[in-house]
Amino acid sequence: MGKRVGVLMGGWGEEREISLKSGEAVVAALESRGHHVTRIFAGPGLDRALRAAELDVAFIALHGRMGEDGRVQGLLELLELPYTGSGVLASALAMNKPFAKKLFRLHNLPTPQGYRVGRDDAARAPQLHGDLGFPCVVKPACGGSSVGLSVVREPQELAQAVAQACRFGGEVLVERFVSGREVTVGILGDAVLGSCEVATPREGFDFEAKYKGGARYFLPPRLSATRVANVEALALAAYRALGCRGYARVDLLCSDTDNDVVLEVNTLPGFTPTSLLSKIAGHAGLDFPELVERILALATRDEAGILDAPEVTPAPVVDEPRRAVS
């Protein structure tokens, strides 16, 4: 028998429209597999909507802030509802790119050198830049879909690029620019599903290239088999370093000097039949409904050890006598 699945879509951030497309694609795939699906539009009152739906499991089709960063995952934990994708901590760490980079380095995983800039320090970015050099990449510290990303080539352009990226979360990551092939690796469960090279007419796989065309895809990447194996091993190590589970997509750069670097881990990547993860799955022999089914089967939640905690009883409300006003 099919499960009662709530597909969480929409959300609060700048990736709402992408999330709605992902959500509708997931709904269609789940219904084709015989599940009973309820659309849950994330926003104010999400907790009430989840309680009222009486679900067996939640399929999270949210992207970016307030959906991919551990907050919705925390709500689902409190509701004791299994959900797809990574848990609270891994979601939060992966979304915060500066913290993720610290963990990559702790696990000896190569990642571009960079620094963090807060909204209040945007005007001081040229002084903070030091010897990082140009060109450099400026992007929101917590975000996805390459929203707010730009490649800065001249020192006089840096402050404006930082201020622009600060609009999406208030904190920015500035990284050394690495020239090379952009490769993304799909992970399902605790194993590599495959990899894909993304070639764009512009430097940087930005929002325009991702969702408005112009990109070309190569499965497998145009690299030697040995190097592809190395890139995929790096991706799996990054996934494990953050404590991810379920599925993810890891973005890397394979530079012209044969050095491969990890950029970020996307715990809830774009999810339509034409998205990068779907392309990788198709090349591996999984059609979109089967991929969705496999991800649903991996849904779980953190075991926090709170099942024996006593029920919380609200304290009675006692009306205090009003004081006379003299």
User: Mind telling me the catalytic residues?
Assistant: 15, 145, 211, 249, 251, 264, 266, 270
Q: What is the arrangement of strands in the sheet containing 36-42, beginning at the earlier edge strand?
A: 36-42, 4-10, 57-60
SS3 173: strand
How far apart, in Å, do the first and last CA atoms of the chain sit?
70
Distance from C-alpha of 78 to C-alpha of 306, rounded to nearest angstrom? 10
CB distance 57 to 46 below 8 Å: no
CA dihedral 256, 260, 261, 262 (to 10 degrees): 130
CB distance 268 to 85 below 8 Å: yes
What's the token pair of residue 90?
A: 């891994």
DSSP bridge partners of 195: 185
- Report the amino acid identity of residue 153: R
Spatial neighbors of 190 by CB under 8 A, at least 6 apart, are: 236, 240, 245
